[in-house]
Each structure stands twice: as structure tokens, then as C-alpha cells.
Structure 1
Amino acid sequence: MRLNCLSCGHKVELDNAYDEFEGPVKCLCGTMLEIRTKEGLLKAIKVMDPQTPRPSQPPGMPGAAA
């Protein structure tokens, strides 16, 4: 599956692991895209709010040492 970054237009290649997926995808430009796919088709895409913590980051103060 291929999708275009909403920020820079780069074509982001996704393999079959993303056929049933909901979550963040990072473009080469650094933009985080929130996507939802079903049966190998893109159902929704939006640029993530930079203030929203990513699922892999624990909540806390931005920029604070862990």
C-alpha cells in the first residue's frame, strides 16, 4: 500500500502488515500521520497534533529527562 504524506507529498510505502491498522506512521520528513486501514484500503488519514503523545511515549513533561 502507498500513501502520500499530507505535509510534503512523499509517497510512503507500507507493507501488508498495515492492511488492518490504526495508528501513527512517520514520513521521512518527520511528519506523524494518523492512519486507519481496513482490508488493505486507506479509510482515514490526518496529520497528528504535535502535542499529542505518541503511544510509545509515556505521558509526562515534554522535553523532560526520563
Structure 2
Amino acid sequence: MFQKREDYKIWRKKHNIRLWDIAKYINLSEGTISRWENNMRDIPDWKVELYDKFIKEYETGKVHAK
């Protein structure tokens, strides 16, 4: 979806999505996602695809963050 990892973080903060919401959806720890967003570690491509799916579902109202 996004070209840079930082763009995921920007999108998440713009929409007030907590790391916990993403972590629960893609089954990774909050720390792992944070480190990935900040270019400190990698995650499998299929997990990035799940992050993309979360974004699409959030934007279409199929999933809600608390």
C-alpha cells in the first residue's frame, strides 16, 4: 500500500489507531510493529499485507479501532 514504512506510522497516527489494534489484527507484538515502522527490524511480507488489509477494512468501515 505505502512505499515507505514511515507512511504506515503516519497513517496510523493520523487516524488515532493504537499499535495494539494493529498488533491484535496481524498477530504481532506492539514492539515488533513499532520497530518495523521505525526501520529497526523487518517483518514478513505477508504480515505487511495484513497491515494493508487492516487499513483497507478500516477505511471502508469493516473493522473498527477502539
User: What is the TM-score when the length of structure 2 is the normalising length?
Assistant: 0.23
Higher strand share: 1
> Relative contact order (C-alpha < 8 Å, sep 6+): which is higher?
2
Higher helix share: 2
The structure whose Rg is larger is: 1
User: What is the TM-score when the length of structure 1 is the normalising length?
Assistant: 0.23
